[in-house]
Structure formats: structure tokens, C-alpha cells
């Protein structure tokens, strides 16, 4: 099989709607040889394509996404509720919108970890949060301006913007590389990084410059947990819960935009994950 050639892309894209079926078929085969990298490679040519050729290109990209994800996209479940499982899950989800960028996630997280070690004398949670929202340049996207991309790890790493959920995951995964034990927690739909200690916790509000939530508010929460005999660490959100939340948010976002065809792909992922969780006697929600 011939290797794809970037220089041929403009020529191939121009032939997407050729009158000849044979030509169109050969063009499709040639474009699919790029694999997940095609998504990034064609972005610079979007402005040259008319709506019909854009639609044809999207059909090819969708085929690549389906082929690349395959049925084993939830193999991360075998890794348990670990940071490795979280990273694998988020890479799989990022492939739905940014296949090429998804493959660079590990290297980007490694790079952030190295920069943090160089930039900070303290290796603790506050220092990590301050680094990400300071020198590293990450910032949360206001809720009324978010779309499905802002939950995706690849997009957050590329643009330095994301939902609190995405940025919490960035903090967790960078922290795991430097020996900082950080988790995520959802309180009334708001995601925050959380650090646990012997009998309590500290919450960090990414939408308030990463400041720790006032101790008085946290003490009220800790007391409620004690009354209900719930250990603080049991409040952390699991990898399946994070994944289901991202899928659910994507479905809602796409349906609001009447992008039903794209939403269907996320619905399929949601259902397949939910079924696998049931098969393993794990909670679905």
C-alpha cells in the first residue's frame, strides 16, 4: 500500500465530487490512508471546499473515526480506576474529534510535568494548580460558551482552554507524573480537583483562579459525610463516571445544534460503555 503524501491533498480534495465513480473511489481510498492524521492535515484546506465537498470529506473522516476506534475503545476498563485508565479513556474520546492530536496527549502531559518540576520548588497540589493556571497558561471556559470540544483532553492541551472537568483531568494526569495524588470531584454538576488527607479533603475551584474552597464550606461537607458514614475519598469521581459525563455532555451539545448524525456516534459510545459497565456489575451513573 502506497504511503500517503501531504502534497497530494489539495489535488485529492478537489476531486472529492468528480463525475467519475472510479475517481471518487480512488480519492476516498487515498484519503483514508492518512488515517486519524487526516483530520489535522485537511484543516488548512477547509476554506477552499464548497459545502458539498465538505460534506463528502466529513463522511470519510467519520469512517476513519469508526474504523480507528473499533470495538475495543473501552479496553481501559481493564485497568481499573487508575490514572492510566483515565488517560487511555480520554485519549479514546479525543479521537472522536481530534484523532491526530489525541496521539500526542501523552507527550504533552510529559512536557507539562517536566516544566512544572523546573518551575516549582514545591511539589504539592496548590503549586501544581498555580502552575497550570499561571505559567502553563490554562484557563477555564465560561459555562455559557462551552461546547463538546471543551471537555476533550486533546483540545484542552492544544488550546490551553477547557471546561473545569477537562482541566481537572489535566491536573490529575500531570500530578500523577510527579508524585502528586490528585482526584476529581463533582458537586452539583461542578467539577473540581480534590486532595484527600486522613479524615478530610481540600477542594480547588478552577473557576476562581484555582483557590482552595473556604475551609468553613468544606467542614460542613465533611460533617455531612461523617453523618452518612461516607469516607471522603469515596466522593471522588471514577474514570467511567468521567467518561460517561463527557459523552453525555457531547450528546446534549450536538442535539442542541441539531447535529443529529454526529450525536449518534456519541450515543453509540455511551450505550456500549453503559452495557459493559452492567456486564461487570459496575454502576452506570
Give residue-wise pLDDT tens across range 133-157.
999 999 999 877 778 899 999 999 9
Residues whose CB falls within 8 Å of the CB of residue 120, separated by 6 or more in sequence, listed in order: 127, 128, 130, 131
In a domain, 244, yes or no: no
Q: Domain count of the chain?
A: 2
In a domain, 278, yes or no: no
pLDDT band at 184 (very low <50, low <70, confident <90, very high): very high
In a domain, 124, yes or no: yes
Structural domain containing residue 207: 75-235
In a domain, 96, yes or no: yes
- d(C-alpha 148, C-alpha 215), whole Å: 33
- d(C-alpha 70, C-alpha 244), whole Å: 18
Average predicted confidence (pLDDT) for the chain? 88
In a domain, 81, yes or no: yes
Tell me: do 79 and 52 sit in the same domain: no
Residue identified by cell 449518534 is 264
| Final residue of a structural domain among 37, 54, 69 | 69
- d(C-alpha 129, C-alpha 127), whole Å: 6
Tell me: do 100 and 182 sit in the same domain: yes
Residues whose CB falls within 8 Å of the CB of residue 142, separated by 6 or more in sequence, listed in order: none
pLDDT for 225 equals 79
Q: Tens of pLDDT along 229-271?
A: 877 788 899 999 999 999 999 999 999 988 887 788 788 888 8
Amino acid at each position: 500500500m502506497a504511503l500517503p503524501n501531504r502534497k497530494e491533498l489539495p489535488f485529492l480534495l478537489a476531486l472529492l465530487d468528480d463525475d467519475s465513480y472510479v475517481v471518487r473511489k480512488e480519492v476516498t481510498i487515498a484519503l483514508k490512508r492518512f488515517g486519524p492524521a487526516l483530520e489535522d492535515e485537511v484543516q488548512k484546506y477547509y476554506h477552499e471546499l464548497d459545502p458539498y465537498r465538505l460534506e463528502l470529506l466529513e463522511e470519510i473522516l467519520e469512517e476513519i473515526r469508526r474504523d480507528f476506534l473499533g470495538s475495543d475503545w473501552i479496553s481501559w476498563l481493564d485497568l481499573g480506576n487508575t490514572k492510566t485508565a483515565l488517560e487511555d479513556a480520554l485519549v479514546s474520546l479525543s479521537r472522536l474529534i481530534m484523532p491526530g492530536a489525541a496521539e500526542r496527549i501523552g507527550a504533552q502531559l510529559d512536557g507539562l510535568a517536566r516544566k512544572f518540576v523546573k518551575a516549582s520548588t514545591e511539589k504539592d497540589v496548590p503549586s501544581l494548580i498555580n502552575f497550570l493556571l499561571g505559567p502553563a497558561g490554562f484557563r477555564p471556559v465560561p459555562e455559557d460558551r462551552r461546547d463538546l470540544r471543551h471537555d476533550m483532553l486533546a483540545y484542552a492541551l492544544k488550546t490551553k482552554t477547557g471546561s473545569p472537568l477537562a482541566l481537572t483531568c489535566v491536573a490529575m494526569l500531570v500530578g500523577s507524573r510527579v508524585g502528586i495524588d490528585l482526584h476529581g470531584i463533582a458537586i452539583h454538576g461542578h467539577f473540581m480537583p480534590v486532595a484527600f488527607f486522613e479524615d478530610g479533603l481540600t477542594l480547588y475551584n478552577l473557576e476562581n483562579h484555582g483557590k482552595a474552597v473556604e475551609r468553613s464550606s468544606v467542614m460542613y461537607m465533611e460533617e455531612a459525610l461523617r453523618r452518612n458514614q461516607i469516607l471522603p475519598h469515596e466522593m471522588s469521581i471514577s474514570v467511567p463516571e468521567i467518561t460517561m459525563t463527557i459523552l453525555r455532555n457531547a450528546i446534549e451539545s450536538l442535539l442542541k445544534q441539531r447535529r443529529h448524525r454526529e450525536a449518534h456516534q456519541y450515543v453509540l459510545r455511551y450505550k456500549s460503555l453503559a452495557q459493559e459497565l452492567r456486564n461487570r456489575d459496575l454502576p452506570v451513573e
